């Protein structure tokens, strides 16, 4: 009976993401799902480390998707894009975390990363989205593939930032293609 209780407590103590394998390629839908605890070539960080890197002026990259005006709305329909809030100082490279990117999305990612790092592949980059979002994992993997050597993947993203009482989020402005 004691062994059973110990075994149960050990199982409960293991994080849910510990069993999620890192895929060899990019991950598709569903994008909101448990993520792995690793990303080959990148460092996985928590909110405490994100706050430290933020104070040190690391480049912060938000890859949360953007809700664009739907095609085919009836004439006269008023469209207001939903607001997206992000970590202060972050650039919003919207739609760059999907499994497959269009040429325009890939260019946005490449240009945005080059801009925030000022062309320095050794500048620390913190890539994030929301908690349990594969889009940040995909975008961080792409940054590693593009030759950035200090990629920090922040899987807790905006949600963990708020829970850690980081500076208040600010309205995100989408980076143009």
In a 13 Å sphere around the CA of 151, the CA atoms on its Cβ side amount to 24
Global pTM value: 0.85
Calpha distance 125→149 (Å, rounded): 9
Q: Could you read off the pLDDT of 62-98 as tens digits, one per residue?
A: 999 998 778 888 888 887 889 999 999 999 999 999 9
Q: Which helix (H) or strand (E) holds 171?
A: strand 170-171
């Amino acid at each position: 009976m004691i062994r059973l209780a110990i075994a149960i407590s050990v199982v409960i103590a293991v994080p849910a993401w510990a069993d999620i394998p890192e895929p060899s390629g990019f991950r598709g839908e569903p994008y909101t799902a448990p993520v792995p605890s690793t990303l080959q070539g990148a460092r996985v960080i928590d909110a405490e480390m994100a706050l430290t890197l933020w104070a040190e002026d690391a480049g912060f990259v938000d890859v949360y998707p953007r809700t664009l005006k739907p095609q085919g709305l009836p004439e006269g329909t008023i469209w207001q894009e939903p607001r997206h809030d992000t970590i202060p100082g972050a650039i919003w490279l919207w739609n760059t975390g999907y499994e497959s990117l269009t040429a325009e999305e890939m260019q946005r990612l490449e240009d945005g990363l080059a801009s925030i790092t000022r062309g320095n592949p050794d500048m620390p980059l913190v890539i994030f989205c929301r908690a349990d979002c594969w889009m940040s994992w995909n975008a961080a993997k792409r940054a590693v593939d593009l030759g950035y050597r200090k990629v920090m993947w922040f899987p807790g993203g905006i949600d963990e930032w708020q829970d850690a009482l980081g500076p208040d989020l600010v309205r995100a402005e989408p980076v143009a293609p």
